[in-house]
Structure formats: structure tokens, C-alpha cells
Structure 1
Amino acid sequence: MARKMGFIAVLAYVIYGLLMYWYLFYLADSSLPFEFQGSSADPATFLNSRELMLSTEYSQIRNLLFFLSTPLEWLIYFLILLVGLSKAFHKWAGETTKNKLGQGAIYIFWLSLFAYLATFPLSYLSYHLSRTYNISTQSFGSWMKDELIDFWVNFAMMLVIVSVLYWLINKSKRFWWIFAWLLTVPFSLFLMFVQPVVIDPLYNDFYPLKNKELEAKILDLASQAGIPAEHVFEVNMAEKTNALNAYVTGIGSNSRIVLWDTTLNKLNDDQILFIMAHEMAHYVEKHIYIGIAGYLLLSLVGLYLTSRIMNWAIRKWGTEFKVSGIHDIRAFPLFLMILSLLAFTASPLSNFVSRYQETRADRYAIEMTEQPEAAIATFQELTKAGLSQVNPPFLVKVFRYGHPTMLERISRIEEYQISQRNNEASEGIPAPEIND
């Protein structure tokens, strides 16, 4: 029975991969609607023919890797259960030490190591793709260093989660999911508080913005937005990527305004101020706290469903999975698989909410800076630097995009321009001259 289940799972993954390949490379339409051709959103107006070709190629392959990666995790955890690896990890842990915490640490180490090695080829393909298309500038050694940091950070967090989770399950097999959810509130807030000062510096060096004139402009915007920031931080990303980014991170006294040095190198001050105004909008409109609330709501539903599905799956296939019950740590791969499956299923909803918030942030930024030309140029540069599709396929947008598409973002700025000109014309105010 276990062999048959494993064969069906592998076959289903292969068929799914072929269908996604067919959809992304042959069925999906990412061409620009006729009414936008020749507009500022038309990539043909700001990318050359080679960049247009590379953008299409890179986006198709990158999207395929995305759609293959998460289901691969499900398959790996499923096979770990079926072939008895979870049972073997548990046995090795028991033979190594009698200490319960030590056994949990050893079990999680072997599980994490096997899952990492199984997904490594796909991770390396993603890295190699970025290098090939000149998105990534990171050396293999530097990339492996980040991978190892990821491994140990994830291991540490997973060890804490497993220790608390199985303590709760053994205390209350019926309502453990409620107590686990209650603990996610302080845990999530703690992670958000320490991330800017503990976790992020493990990967990159952060230092105060060197351009003090630009920093004064950004802090002036922050003051207008009511953000209690005293410094703007710069992070050295040029040695790793050609992509552009900026963000506001952390909560409370650990809040930080951060600019990638690639953004500083490729954009002018007006463009950078537009990006920073966009990021500040998330603070002003409390998107961070709305996001936390949404995450906690989804976590509550997710943990409840995970509890129900795990109990059902173990009753039905406990023998094949070689686990005795939900309290058995050998069932942890099943927990991870179900939670990942539910998160992927919920991603269209969370992405929809995120795109709405990003649209609001774009609107706030353009009204704050009143520089529509700079905003359009910024989006064009972001598209060029990341070889992004201006109008991605439907499934890509639904499952991958937490931001509006560049077609939507640029066209909205153009609509804002038209609206402003019409208002000025109706009030008898001469329209400002626009230099293309």
C-alpha cells in the first residue's frame, strides 16, 4: 500500500509539473492589451529587443521553478513518512541520547538536513538562473553561506516550535491548536521586533545612509508621515544582486527605514523619495498591524484544519506513515506538509489583500511626492532591473504577486496624471511642462 501511495504521489507531481510547463510556456498569454501599447506601461518603450526577450525567458523559467518548489516540499515530506525515514530519524535520536529535548533536536536536525538536501537541486537551479540572467551577482560561496545561515536559523526556530507544539499536544490532544495559536501572537511580535537587529544582519551589513542630503529628505518625508525614524539605513546588496528594493521593517523602537545600495546607485533622488513614500504609507495606514491580524486569523483557521486533517490522515494511513498518533513526533512531517498545503491554498487571498494595500501605498506616495514622472520611471527601472513581466499570466499573478502588476501600477499613475491635468484645466491653471 505504501509503495502504491508513493508511486501515485510521484506520478501526480510529474503530471502537475508538465501541466504547469504547458501553461506557462504555451497557453498563458502575457501580451500587452492593445489599449496599452505605446503607453509608458509598454515594455517596448523602455526595454530594448534583447531585454524584452530575456524578460520573457527569465520570467517563464522563474515562474515554473516557483510552481514546482512548494509541491516538491509536500512530496518530500510525504515520502519521508511513507519510506520510514521519519521513524528512522526518531530511532537515531533515541539511540544517541535519553534526554527528551536532545532527542527532539537530533530528530529535527536529520529531518531538516534531508529536506534541505532533497530541495537543494531546485534551489541551486534558481540561483544559477539568476546568475545566468545577471539578476544575481552573488558568488557561489556567498550564496552557500546564506543557505547555511537559512538552514541554522530555520533549525533553531523549528526546534522551538516542535518543543512547544508537542508539549501542548501531550497536554491537550483535542485543543492543542488553540493554545498553539495563542502562543503565535507573542512569538510573531517577538520575531518582528528582533529581525532588523538580530536576523537581518546575519546576511548583510547595515549602516547609516552615507548620502546625508538624501537622508534629510527621507527623514523629512518620515516626519510628515508621523514615522519616528532618526536614521535611514543602507544595506550592501550590490555584491549579491542587481535588483532594486527598499523597505520599512520592524516594530516599536526597532523600526528601520532601509535602502538597498543598488537602489541608491540606479535611481535619482525623486525616484527614491517616491519609493520611500510608498513604504511609509504602509506604516501610516497600519498595514503591518493589519497584516499581523490577518496572519493570526489565517493561523487560527490553519491550525484548526491541520488538527482535523492530521487526525483523519493518521486514522486512515497511520500504519503506512508508521506513526501511532498526532502526539507522535514522527508525524511532524505530516504537520509541515498540511500547513504548507494550506498556506499555498490561502496565498491567492493573502496576495489579493497585499495587492490592495500596495495599490493604496502607490496612491499615497504619488499624492505625497507629486512626481508622477519619477514614479513611472521608478516602475520602469524596477521592471528592467528584475527582468519582470509587465503583464504576467493569471495564475502567476494570483499565486505569486503580492504587488500589483507593473501594467496596473504604471497605468494608474498615468490616470492620475490625466486627472490632475483635467483638474488644473478646469481651474484655469496652466499645466506644468513635462520633459520626456
Structure 2
Amino acid sequence: MKMKWALRAIAAYILFGLLMYWYLFYYADAALPAQYKGTAADPATFMSGRQLFLSEAYAKIRNLLFFLSVPYEWLFYFLVLVLGISKMFEQWAAAVSRIRLIQTAVYFFWFSLASFLFTFPFGYLSHRFSKAYGISTQDFAGWMKDELTDFWVNFAIMFAVVAVLYALMKKFRRKWWLPAWLLSIPFTVFMMFIQPVVIDPLYNDFYPLKDKALEAKILALAEKAQIPADHVYEVNMSEKTNALNAYVTGIGSNSRIVLWDTTLNRMDDKEILFVMAHEMGHYVEKHIYFGIAGYILMMLIGLWLIARWMNAVGRWMSGISSISSLPLFLLISSVLLFASSPLTNWASRYQEMRADRYAVQMTHDKKSGVETFQILTKAGLSEVNPPLLVKIFRYDHPTMLERIRMLEE
């Protein structure tokens, strides 16, 4: 019976994959509306024929990998549960020690390793295609180093989360979701506080911006926006990617303004100032705090739903407080995250558009804004007008068509 359910799940996944391939490669329409032909939003006006061809091909591959990787993760959780692999990991952990914390660590290590190996093909394919299309500049060794760093960072963070979560499940049984939610609030703030100074430096080298004249212009812009900032940081991303980025990260005294060196190499000062004004718009309009509040609210609803569904399914398991139920918890969590992504992406797109408007008001430089979006499109081989499903489930920023159109109009 278990094998039948496993085969059904695999067959459903293959069928879904074929359907998404048909949608993305044959049905979805990413053509630019006729009224925008020849405008600044038309990629034919700022991209070469080869760039247009690569952009279209790469977008389809990247979108297909996304829509295949999400249910692939669900398939892993389901198979680990239904085939008894999770129970086997729990038995291995119990054989190592009688101390519950050690059992949790052993179980979670085997589970994390199995998850890493199962999902590795998608990560590798994504890296290979990114390299083939000129986005990634990282060799396999460098990419693998980042993957292993990811594994251990996620293991350390998630082990702490899982250990506390299952201790609460044992203590509170049916109401565990409420104290779990209450504890998630300070944990979320703590992670945002340490991210720029503890986690980010594990992947890249951060140092003060070398171009002091540009730094002075950025800090003057920050002062005009009443943003407390003493330094602008540069990060050496060119050894990993040709993509461009800049951001403001962290909260409180650990907040940072960060520029990728690829952005510094590809944009002039006016374009960089537009990008930084956009990032400052998020700070001025307090998007980070709205984001934290929205995340905390969704966490409350999500944990309540997970608790209800786990209690319902727990009748056919040895009990939800058993660590072997972790794949069920993660399966429900992942499904809920995916189901809520249209809403969260819409909220994010709204905030990004507000930040774009703020950047125009701050710099009074619409021309540099348009050129910035064109450069970003070329650097990332981005779709200007992605298909509807792709936009709904993947885009947490407005499409380039929407951003350039807003500036022009």
C-alpha cells in the first residue's frame, strides 16, 4: 500500500511537470503588448538580437526549474513519510543516545543530508544553466563551497528551531502552536539583527566602499532622507555572478547599505544613486517593519493551520510530537508558503513600486531610472513581460515593463 501511494505521488509529479513544460514553452504569452513596441520598455530597443534570444530561452528554463523544484520538495517530504524513512531516522537517533536533544540532532542530521542529496540535482542544474547563459561566473568548487556553507548554516538554525518546536509539542500537545508563534517573534528580530554581521560574511567579503566620492554622494542622499548611515559597504560578487544588486539590510545598529561590485562596474553614479534612493525608499516608508508585522501575522495563521492538519493526520501516525513527524510539518509549511506566495508577492511588488516612485521624487532623474532598469534587464537576462502564472508565483518585484512604464508615464 505504501509503495502504491509513493508511485501515485511520483506519477502525479511527472504529470504536473509535463503540464508546466507545455504551459511555459508552448502556451504562455510573454510578448510585449503592441502599444509598447519601440518604447523604452521594449527590449528590442536596448538589447541585441543575441541577448533577446538568450533572455527568452533562459527565462523558460529558469521558470520551469522553479515550478518543478517546489513540488519536488513536497515529493521528498511525502516519500520520506510514506516509505517509513523518517521513522528509520528516528530509530537510528534513539540507538545513539537516550538524551532527547542528542536524538533530535542525530535525526535532523540524517534528514538534512537526505534532503540535500535529493534536491541537489535541481541546485546543480540551476547553477549549470546560469553559468551557460553567462549569469554565473562561479566555478563548481566555489558553488559547492556555498552549498555546503548553506547546509551547515541551515542545519544550525533549523536544529535550534526544531528542538524548541518539538519540546513545545510534547509539553503543550494541541496548543503548541501558540507558544511557538510567541517565540518566533523575538527569534525573527534576532535573525534580522545578526544577518548582516554574522551570516552574510560567511558567503562574501564586505568592505567599505572604495569610491569615497560616490560614498559621499550616497551618504548625502541618506542624510536628505533622514536615514542614519555612516558607511556604505561593497561586496565582491563579481567572482560569483554578472547580475547586479544593491540593498539595505539589517535592523538597528547592524543596518547596512550594501552595493555589489558588479553594480559599481556596470552603472554610472547617477544610476547608482537612483538604485540607492530606491533602497532608501524602503527605509523611509518603513517597509521592513510592515514586512516583519506581515510575517508575524502569517506565522500565526500558518502555525494554527499546521497544528490543525497535523492533529488530523496524527491519528494515522505514532503522534505528532514524535520527531519522525517533521516531514509532515515541513510539507504542510511548504504548501502553505507556496499557496500564500501570490499574496506576499503582490504586497512586495506594491512596496517595490512605492520605492521606485520615491527614487524618482528623491533624485528627480527619470532618465537614469529608465536606464537602470534596462541595465538590470540585460545583466540578468530578465523577461520584461513574464507570463501571468510566473508573475503571480515568482515575481516579488514589478515586471520591468511595469517599472519602466511607470517612470515614462
Q: For the superposition of Structure 1 and Structure 2, which TM-score range results when normalised by the shorter chain? A: over 0.9
| Structure 2 counterpart of 1:17 | 17
| Structure 2 counterpart of 1:214 | 214
Letter in 2 for 1:412: M
By how many angstroms is 1:5 displaced?
1.3
| Structure 2 counterpart of 1:59 | 59
Q: Is 1:376 matched up with 2:387?
A: no
By how many angstroms is 1:98 displaced?
2.1
Higher deviation after alignment, 339-348 or 90-99: 90-99
| Structure 1 counterpart of 2:151 | 151
By how many angstroms is 1:363 displaced?
0.2
| Structure 2 counterpart of 1:393 | 387
By how many angstroms is 1:311 displaced?
1.4
Equivalent in 318, 326, 329 of residue 324 of structure 1: 318
Query: 1:8 & 1:297 partners in 2: Cα distance?
Result: 35
User: Which runs of 4 or more aligned residues in structure 1 lie more than 6 Å from their structure 2 counterparts after TM superposition?
Assistant: none
Query: 1:349 & 1:363 partners in 2: Cα distance?
Result: 21
| Structure 2 counterpart of 1:314 | 314
Q: Deviation per CA, 1:175-217, whole angstroms, max 9, x where unpaired?
A: 1001100011000000000000000000000000000000000
Q: Is 1:236 matched up with 2:230?
A: no
Letter in 1 for 2:183: L
Query: 1:284 & 1:313 partners in 2: Cα distance?
Result: 45
Letter in 2 for 1:104: T
Q: Deviation per CA, 1:133-178, whole angstroms, max 9, x where unpaired?
A: 0100001111001000100011111111111001111111111001
Letter in 2 for 1:369: T
| Structure 2 counterpart of 1:364 | 358
Query: 1:305 & 1:331 partners in 2: Cα distance?
Result: 16
| Structure 2 counterpart of 1:91 | 91
By how many angstroms is 1:100 displaced?
1.4
Give unmatched runs, 5+ long, in structure 2: none
Q: Provide the secondary structure at the position in 2 that maps to 1:404.
A: coil
| Structure 2 counterpart of 1:290 | 290
| Structure 2 counterpart of 1:408 | 402
By how many angstroms is 1:4 displaced?
1.7
Letter in 1 for 2:297: L
Query: 2:279 & 2:20 partners in 1: Cα distance?
Result: 34
User: 5 Å matches for 1:190-201?
Assistant: 190-201=190-201
Q: Provide the secondary structure at the position in 2 that maps to 1:403.
A: coil
Contact 2:174 2:311 (C-alpha < 8 Å) held by counterparts: no
Query: 2:217 & 2:293 partners in 1: Cα distance?
Result: 32
| Structure 2 counterpart of 1:227 | 227
| Structure 1 counterpart of 2:70 | 70
Letter in 2 for 1:186: P
Q: Is 1:117 matched up with 2:117?
A: yes
Q: Provide the secondary structure at the position in 1 that maps to 2:174.
A: coil
Query: 2:37 & 2:312 partners in 1: Cα distance?
Result: 53
Query: 1:166 & 1:119 partners in 2: Cα distance?
Result: 25
Q: Provide the secondary structure at the position in 2 that maps to 1:173.
A: helix
| Structure 1 counterpart of 2:34 | 34
| Structure 1 counterpart of 2:347 | 353
Query: 1:276 & 1:356 partners in 2: Cα distance?
Result: 18
Query: 2:73 & 2:161 partners in 1: Cα distance?
Result: 19
Q: Is 1:136 matched up with 2:136?
A: yes
Query: 1:266 & 1:159 partners in 2: Cα distance?
Result: 41
Query: 1:286 & 1:255 partners in 2: Cα distance?
Result: 13
Query: 2:28 & 2:15 partners in 1: Cα distance?
Result: 18
Query: 2:313 & 2:398 partners in 1: Cα distance?
Result: 38
By how many angstroms is 1:253 displaced?
0.1
Q: Is 1:339 matched up with 2:323?
A: no
Higher deviation after alignment, 83-92 or 259-268: 83-92
Query: 2:323 & 2:107 partners in 1: Cα distance?
Result: 9
Query: 2:67 & 2:229 partners in 1: Cα distance?
Result: 39
Higher deviation after alignment, 166-175 or 380-389: 166-175
Letter in 1 for 2:84: G
Query: 1:351 & 1:391 partners in 2: Cα distance?
Result: 16
| Structure 1 counterpart of 2:266 | 266
| Structure 1 counterpart of 2:202 | 202
Query: 1:235 & 1:58 partners in 2: Cα distance?
Result: 26
| Structure 2 counterpart of 1:434 | none
By how many angstroms is 1:268 displaced?
0.2
Query: 1:175 & 1:287 partners in 2: Cα distance?
Result: 32
By how many angstroms is 1:349 displaced?
0.1
Q: Provide the secondary structure at the position in 1 that maps to 2:173.
A: coil
| Structure 2 counterpart of 1:165 | 165
By how many angstroms is 1:354 displaced?
0.3
Q: Deviation per CA, 1:225-260, whole angstroms, max 9, x where unpaired?
A: 111110000000000000000000000000000000
Query: 2:115 & 2:74 partners in 1: Cα distance?
Result: 10
| Structure 2 counterpart of 1:424 | none
Query: 1:312 & 1:21 partners in 2: Cα distance?
Result: 35
Q: Provide the secondary structure at the position in 2 that maps to 1:233.
A: strand
Give unmatched runs, 5+ long, in structure 1: 416-436
Give me the TM-score of the superposition, normalised by structure 2.
0.99
Give the alignment's Cα RMSD to 1 decimal. Answer: 0.6
By how many angstroms is 1:83 displaced?
1.1
By how many angstroms is 1:314 displaced?
2.4
By how many angstroms is 1:224 displaced?
1.1
Query: 2:186 & 2:342 partners in 1: Cα distance?
Result: 26
Letter in 2 for 1:383: T
Q: Deviation per CA, 1:291-345, whole angstroms, max 9, x where unpaired?
A: 0000011111110110111111222xx2xxxx31111110001000100110000
Query: 2:162 & 2:234 partners in 1: Cα distance?
Result: 36
The structure with the largest alpha-carbon Rg is: 1
Query: 1:309 & 1:15 partners in 2: Cα distance?
Result: 26
| Structure 1 counterpart of 2:6 | 6
Letter in 2 for 1:193: F
Q: Quick one: percent identity of the two aligned structures?
A: 64
